[in-house]
Amino acid sequence: MATERRSWYRRLRRWLLGAAVAALALSLAMVVPLRWIDPVTSAFMLRHRVLAATGEDYRAPEQEWVALERIAPVMRLAVVAAEDQKFPGHPGFDLEAIANALQGHLQGGERLRGASTLSQQVAKNLYLWPAQTLWRKGLEAWFTVLVELTWPKRRILEVYLNIAQFGPNTYGAGAAARRFFGVSAATLSAEQAALLAAALPNPRRYHVDAPDDYLRERRQWILEQMRALGGPAWLEQALR
């Protein structure tokens, strides 16, 4: 009996080790090539297409890929100022923001905020789904680590700017610039970039083409943060 039990444990260990190696290999195959290859879509855009095809209140998503060098420096800075000011230096996670969010949740009973970095948002939007479950958050953390280990920061920012949702069916700075302002991503002004970034927390609720008082106030705050950080030159230097 003891011999059979040890044999069963050995088989289980081999199976678990094989499954772990296979999961790692699959994850790396999903992440590493996109350091050089531009993704043609994302998990969020695919979900959007399915909802549109099934008659939900969605239209087919609009998106066009724009290289980072052809996105206005003020647009690059605006999303960092709005969403993740520690982006150039953190390892994928803002531990201080996570700790503050957890403390607020435990002390005040408020809903636990995500405190997501741009790297986490890339991992989530590119590979996963919206639900706030522990399983999804665990996968998000796993893919965030892989993205940070295998992509340079400039590539993470480039992918983010091309897959982030800026409106109800609008993904990426290129499509957003054309839809809302009739310009290319390269010619966005600081005010336009800040308004696009202001809508990022909830692009289905905040309307860039009809900004309410909150969205205008948030745009002003982002512009102030962009100046306080040191302008586009600061970000370019930080990402070298």
Largest pairwise CA distance in the chain = 75
Closest CA to 159 of 193, 189, 114, 125: 125
Tell me the pTM: 0.91
Q: Are 73 and 235 in contact (CB under 8 A)?
A: yes
Per-residue pLDDT of the chain (240 residues; tens, 9 = 90+): 666 777 777 887 888 888 889 999 999 999 999 999 999 999 999 999 888 888 776 788 899 999 999 999 999 999 999 999 999 999 999 988 777 767 765 666 555 555 699 999 999 999 999 888 899 999 999 999 999 999 999 999 999 999 999 998 999 999 999 999 999 999 999 999 999 999 999 998 999 999 999 999 999 999 999 999 999 999 999 999
Per-residue tokens: 80? 């960092």
Say how many residues make up the chain. 240
- Taking the CB of residue 186, how many other CB atoms lie within 10 A of it? 16
